[in-house]
C-alpha cells in the first residue's frame, strides 16, 4: 500500500510539473493565433470601409457637397449604394478623427483615393476646386448681389456699382436688373469675378426666355417677352407649388383680358421696398406705387423677383379654366374660384383654418 501511495504521489507530482509545459508551449501560440485573426479581421473591415477606394467613373471626378449636408447622410448614401461596408466605422472615424463638418463646394476625387481621404478632404473648404452658388427662384436681385458679396470665393469687381452700371458692364440692354438672372445651382472656380457670374446668369435667362417665348400659346395678353417675364416673376411669388403655376397664370391672364386689376400682394411688397416689415396693412394696399397692382392697371413696370423657367413656361402656357380668383387654403395650396361669391367663401374658410392652426 505504501508503494502504491508513493507511485500515486509521484504521478501527481509529475502531472503538476507537466502543466506549466502546456502553458509555456501552447498558450502563447493560441494568443498569437487570436491576435493574427484579430488583425486580419480588422484589416478586412478597414479594407471595406476606410481603406476602400472611393468609386469614380473616370480618372478625376467632381464631388459636389451642398451646404448643410452631413457626414452621417453622406456615409449612409455610400452604404445604400453598396460602395462601403461597415458604415459605423466611417462614422466613428468622422466623430473621433475628423471631428468637423462637411464644407460646401466642389472637390476633385481621383481614382484610387480612399474613402478616408475623401472624408477628410471635404471637411476643409480650402480643398474645394469650385464654389457653389445657389440662386433660389423668387429671390430679388438685391438678395443675389448680397449673396455674391458674402461669398469669399467670388472676386468683387462691379457689385459696389449702381444697378445701371452693372447692367452696362454685363452687356444687358435693360434698364432695371430685376428678373434678368436665371435661378439655379451653379459652380464656379474659386476666385471667379462677379461680373463673369452675373453675365452667365443673365445670358442663361435670356436664352430661356427666348426659347419659351417662341413656343408660347397664341392670344396671350403680352406685347413682348419682357412682359411675360414680369408676369412670371409675379406667379413665382404667388405659389411654390409647381402644379399651381399654370392655374395662377391663368387667373392673371383672364384678369388682364377683362381689364381687371391683378391685385396681387407680392407686387405691393416689392413696391414698399425697405418699408415692408413682414405685414401688409390696408393702407399699404391703397398707397399708390408703380408696383401696387391694387391701384394700377395691368402689369407693373418690371419683374419683382427672379423667376424660374417653370414659371416662365407657365405664364406662356396658362390653363384654360374660368377661375379669376384664388386664395390660400392655409395648408400650403390655394383655392381657385370662378365667382366672387365662391371666392368670399374660400376666404372665410381660409381665415377659419388660420384660427384653427393658431389654436393648435
pLDDT tens-place string over residues 312-356: 999 999 999 999 999 888 777 888 889 998 888 888 888 887 787
Reported as a single tens digit per residue, the pLDDT across 163-213 is: 999 999 999 999 999 999 999 988 888 889 999 999 999 999 999 999 999
Q: Global pTM?
A: 0.72
Reported as a single tens digit per residue, the pLDDT across 236-249 is: 999 989 999 999 99
CA distances from 243 to 182, 192, 240 (A): 21, 37, 9
**How are strands ordered across the β-sheet holding 130-135?**
60-65, 105-110, 130-135, 184-189
Amino acid at each position: 500500500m505504501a508503494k502504491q501511495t508513493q507511485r500515486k504521489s509521484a504521478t501527481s507530482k509529475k502531472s503538476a510539473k507537466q502543466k506549466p509545459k502546456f502553458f509555456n508551449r501552447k498558450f502563447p501560440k493560441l494568443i498569437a493565433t487570436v491576435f493574427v485573426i484579430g488583425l486580419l479581421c480588422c484589416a478586412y473591415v478597414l479594407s471595406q470601409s476606410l481603406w476602400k477606394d472611393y468609386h469614380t467613373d473616370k480618372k478625376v471626378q467632381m464631388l459636389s457637397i451642398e451646404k448643410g449636408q452631413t457626414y452621417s447622410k453622406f456615409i449612409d448614401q455610400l452604404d445604400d449604394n453598396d460602395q462601403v461596408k461597415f458604415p459605423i466605422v466611417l462614422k466613428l472615424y468622422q466623430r473621433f478623427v475628423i471631428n468637423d463638418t462637411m464644407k460646401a463646394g466642389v472637390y476633385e476625387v481621383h481614382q484610387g483615393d480612399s474613402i478616408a481621404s475623401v472624408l477628410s478632404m471635404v471637411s476643409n473648404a480650402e480643398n474645394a476646386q469650385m464654389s457653389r452658388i445657389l440662386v433660389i427662384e423668387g429671390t430679388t436681385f438685391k438678395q443675389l448681389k448680397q449673396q455674391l458679396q458674402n461669398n469669399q470665393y467670388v472676386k468683387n469687381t462691379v457689385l459696389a456699382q449702381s444697378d445701371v452700371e452693372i447692367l452696362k458692364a454685363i452687356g444687358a440692354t435693360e434698364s432695371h436688373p430685376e428678373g434678368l438672372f436665371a435661378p439655379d445651382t451653379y459652380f464656379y472656380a474659386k476666385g471667379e469675378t462677379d461680373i463673369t457670374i452675373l453675365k452667365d446668369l443673365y445670358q442663361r435667362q435670356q436664352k430661356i426666355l427666348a426659347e419659351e417665348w417662341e413656343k408660347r400659346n397664341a392670344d396671350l395678353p403680352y406685347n413682348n417677352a419682357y412682359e411675360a417675364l414680369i408676369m412670371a416673376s409675379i406667379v413665382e411669388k404667388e405659389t411654390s407649388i409647381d402644379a399651381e403655376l399654370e392655374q395662377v397664370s391663368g387667373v392673371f391672364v383672364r384678369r388682364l383680358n377683362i381689364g381687371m386689376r391683378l391685385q396681387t400682394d407680392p407686387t405691393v411688397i416689392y413696391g414698399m421696398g425697405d418699408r415692408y416689415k413682414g405685414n401688409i396693412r390696408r393702407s399699404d394696399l391703397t398707397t399708390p406705387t408703380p408696383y401696387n397692382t391694387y391701384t394700377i392697371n395691368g402689369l407693373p413696370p418690371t419683374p419683382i423677383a427672379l423667376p424660374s423657367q417653370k414659371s416662365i413656361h407657365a405664364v406662356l402656357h396658362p390653363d384654360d379654366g374660368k377661375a379669376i380668383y384664388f386664395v390660400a387654403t392655409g395648408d400650403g395650396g390655394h383655392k381657385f374660384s370662378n365667382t366672387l361669391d365662391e371666392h368670399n367663401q374660400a376666404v372665410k374658410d381660409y381665415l377659419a383654418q388660420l384660427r384653427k392652426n393658431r389654436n393648435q
